[in-house]
Amino acid sequence: MARIPVRKTYKLYIGGAFPRSESGRTYEAEGANVARASRKDLRDAVRAARQAFPGWAGLSAYARGQILYRVAEMMEARRADLASRCAGAEEVDRAIDRVVWYAGWADKLAQALGSANPVAGPYFNFTVPEPTGVVGIVCPEEPALAGVVSRLAPAIVSGNTAVAIASRSRPLAAIELAEALATSDLPAGVVNILTGHKEELAPWLASHMDVNALDLCGADSLAPDLERAAADNVKRVTRGSPDGQSLWEIAALVELKTVWHPVGR
């Protein structure tokens, strides 16, 4: 007699845990019942991201790079599962390589984006990039896996924490990825992933007063309203590429701090 397989329940990823939606709602996507997150889940996710922010931003850049590289290792170990949730092995390879690429930026981005500034006075004046805080991400619908990875990696490598709303039509790859993140030394709350209806969740994310920046990559026709809501607390708004990698994707989500340090005998 053939063994009956044990199926997986696809849930949210908040604060390092995998809860169901507090609303008890699900919706069907890719043949599975997927959690349909509520406004309350979104607030919980933002709270988890805010709590995780000082610790993650305070790690050394080297340590963040190590952890991101560890994420790639965990993804590599889950190649088959990940491939079954996206366009296939080729997309998985691209996504893993992209995480490795961003992992390497962790301890270089300050050199590429910062500067020493020759001011006319007795001061050592320098500018350093710093994470902006909690980044809200509206993931693209496609590609299912590379889309989430392309948006999350540049957001967190500088020390930001993130709340991502997954693709509505292809959410399973994001949750599969969350399972790799959960086993990769990434501190709880650095990445939080919500599945559900984008048009229902994104407005709450855009108007949340404890979110510092928005990546509207997958917002499509929702974008103008979300941009308007983002003004409530002067959020930085960017539209990242759904399947690309660049230092400038990191730069869009950092602040620049300039310090005047006195020079004297």
Partner 1 sequence: MTEVERTHAAAPAPSGWEYAPSLESRDIVRLEARYGVFAGGKWLEPRSGEWYQTINPATEEPLAEVAQAGAEDVALAVQAAREALESGWAQLPGSERAKYLFRIARLLQERSRELAVLETLNGGKPIRESRDVDLPLAAAHFFYYAGWADKLEYAFPNRSPRPVGVCGQIIPWNFPLLMLAWKVAPALACGNTVVLKPAETTPLTALFFCDILRQAELPAGVVNIVTGDGRTGAALVRAEVDKIAFTGSTEVGKLIQRELAGTGKRLTLELGGKAANIIFEDAPLDQAVEGIVNGIYFNQGHVCCAGSRLLVQEAIAEEVVRRLKRRLSTLRLGDPLDKNTDVGAINSAAQLRKIEELVEAGKEEGAEIYQPPCRLPDRGFWFPPTVLTSVAQSSRVAQEEIFGPVLSVLTFRTPDEAVEKANNTPYGLSAGVWTEKGSRILWMAERLRAGVVWANTYNRFDPASPFGGYKESGFGREGGLHGLEPYLDFL
Q: Which of 21, 26, 132, 160: binder of partner 1 (CB under 8 A)?
A: 132
Q: Are strands 191-194 and 115-117 parallel, antiparallel or unpaired?
A: unpaired
Residue 232 lies near partner 1 (rule: CB under 8 A): yes
Q: Which of 119, 169, 197, 220: binder of partner 1 (CB under 8 A)?
A: 119
Q: Which of 44, 125, 171, 200: binder of partner 1 (CB under 8 A)?
A: 125
Cα–Cα distance, 35 to 12 (Å, whole number): 6
Size of the site for partner 1 (CB under 8 A): 31
Residue 8 lies near partner 1 (rule: CB under 8 A): no
Cα–Cα distance, 124 to 110 (Å, whole number): 17
Q: Is the CB of 5 or the CB of 118 nearer to partner 1?
A: 118
Residue 205 lies near partner 1 (rule: CB under 8 A): no
> CB count, 10 Å around CB of 78?
17
Angle between helices 198-207 and 223-230 (to 10 degrees): 20
CB of 49 to partner 1, least distance (A): 16
Q: Are strands 213-215 and 134-138 parallel, antiparallel or unpaired?
A: parallel
Q: Is the CB of 149 or the CB of 253 nearer to partner 1?
A: 253
φ, ψ of residue 186 to 5 degrees: the values are -70, 125
Residue 50 lies near partner 1 (rule: CB under 8 A): no
Q: Tell me the Ramachandran region of residue 19: left when phi exceeds 0, alpha when psi lies from -120 to 50, beta otherwise.
A: beta
**One-letter identity of residue 175:** I
CB of 130 to partner 1, least distance (A): 8
Residue 120 lies near partner 1 (rule: CB under 8 A): yes
- Please name which of 163, 166, 182, 186 lies closest in space to residue 174, comparing C-alpha atoms: 166
Q: Is the CB of 162 or the CB of 226 nearer to partner 1?
A: 226
Stretch that binds partner 1, among 37-45, 112-120, 168-176, 190-198 (CB under 8 A): 112-120
Question: Residue numbers of the site for partner 1 (CB under 8 A)?
Answer: 115, 117-121, 123, 125, 127, 132, 212, 223-225, 227-228, 230-234, 236, 248, 255-262
